[in-house]
Each structure stands twice: as C-alpha cells, then as structure tokens.
Chains A and B, each alone.
Chain A
Amino acid sequence: QKEVEQDPGPLSVPEGAIVSLNCTYSNSAFQYFMWYRQYSRKGPELLMYTYSSGNKEDGRFTAQVDKSSKYISLFIRDSQPSDSATYLCAMSSTDSWGKLQFGAGTQVVVTP
C-alpha cells in the first residue's frame, strides 16, 4: 500500500464549476502538506502549502487538512480551461521534511 493515495482521474468539469481534489495518507507523522500543479512536459508548480491542520485560502484555491482522518483536499472555484493540468499532492514529516511523498496525481480537464 502506498503512503499517499490519490485518484488519477481524469476528472472532467465544465468551466465555472468547482473542482474538488483529495488525497489520503497513512503516516500520522506527516505535518507539511503541499499541492502542486503540473502542465504537460513541465515541472510541478507550487500552489498551496499548509503546515499541520486547518484551511488555507489563496484566490480561487482552498486547501484543507484533516489530520484526524488523514485526508487533504484542494478546491478550485470558478474553474477555467487554463486550470486543466495534473494536480499532485505531497507531504512530509518534521523528521524527514525534505523527503516528500507524492500522490500519483489527478488529471483535471476543464471544458469550455
């Protein structure tokens, strides 16, 4: 069993809809949680960074961490065709902060 599970999709939504993405994990020591966006043939781009539990909002993006359920989420409001990409979750513990564990990524397609 992988430490981080993420549905690979594809997830297809109409323009303007809310995109909901999530990851589950098994290691209760994880404290640092990140969401990256990756366009085809490009490197991942950091979208959101959260330490421990709680919510964080940045523009159209909201990240949630529920450590009791070992579950993290990313919501994208008012989705645009330019949001079509693969979204990767990543996380690490304090003891191994540099050793990120990644989900496999969810492909999102926003149709005009």
Chain B
Amino acid sequence: DGGITQSPKYLFRKEGQNVTLSCEQNLNHDAMYWYRQDPGQGLRLIYYSQIVNDFQKGDIAEGYSVSREKKESFPLTVTSAQKNPTAFYLCASSSSYQPQHFGDGTRLSIL
C-alpha cells in the first residue's frame, strides 16, 4: 500500500542527546514536511523540502535539523539545543499544489 511510514512510534530522549525520527514515503511525492503538534496549538511547520538535496526552515526550525538525500526519505534530528522537545511529530508529503498526506506520527518524550 502507498503511504507514509514514521518510526519509531514512541521515542525517549535523554538530556544532551540528539535523536533522529524517520519518515519514508512511497507515494512518489516531491515535497515532504515535518510538523510539531502540541496540545491546543495545532500543527506548526518545522522544515520542508520540495526537491531532493534542498530544504527550507519553517516557523519553528531552531533546535532541529533535516536532510533530503533521497526522494523517499526525510529524517528529522531533534538536537540537544531543542529545550522543549516533548511533542507529537508528524511527517507529511505532497505533490505540487495538492493536499498533504500525513504519517501516523512519533511521540517524543524526555527521560
């Protein structure tokens, strides 16, 4: 089945540790996105990429990094510089001027 796979579903981070969230899509979409969802705040854009080897900061990029080496993959690293990383992270993808489709998210917590 075509879709977006995020892994792991749950992730725990220790103080000072970087963690990487995986996002893979087999929809042949050019664009991919990372969002953060906090209770009562809706989704906020972290980074997005419209083509391979290119990406742009969203509204809340500080403390995060991404790479886009393959069309199918867009991993997100939550660095130790992100002081409040506990949230639900959602990856999405889309074709040009088409709506975004989402994965089922990764819930990140602090140990």
Q: Which residues of A contact B (CB under 8 A)?
A: 4, 6, 8, 32, 34, 36, 41-46, 49, 88, 90, 97-100, 102-105
- CB interface residues, B 92-111, toward A, < 8 Å: 92, 94, 96-97, 99-105, 107
> Which residues of the partner chain B approach A102 to less than 8 Å between Cβ atoms?
42-44
Q: Is B90 an interface residue (CB 8 A)?
A: yes
Number of A-B residue pairs at CB separation under 8 A? 54
Q: Cα distance A45–B102 when bound, in Å?
A: 7
Q: Which residues of B contact A (CB under 8 A)?
A: 4, 6, 31, 33, 40-45, 48, 50, 58, 90, 92, 94, 96-97, 99-105, 107
A-B contact pairs, 23 of them (CB 8 A): A4-B42, A6-B42, A32-B99, A34-B100, A41-B104, A41-B105, A42-B105, A43-B90, A43-B102, A43-B103, A44-B43, A44-B90, A44-B102, A46-B101, A90-B43, A97-B97, A98-B94, A99-B48, A100-B45, A100-B100, A102-B42, A102-B44, A104-B40
From A41, A42, A45, A103, give the contact of B42 (CB < 8 A): A103
Do A43 and B40 touch across chains, with their CB atoms under 8 A apart?
no
A51 CB to closest chain B CB (Å) equals 9
Q: What 17 additional pairs, Cβ within 8 angstroms, besides A42-B105, A98-B50?
A: A8-B40, A32-B97, A41-B104, A41-B105, A42-B104, A44-B43, A44-B90, A46-B100, A88-B43, A90-B43, A97-B97, A98-B48, A98-B100, A99-B58, A100-B43, A102-B42, A102-B43
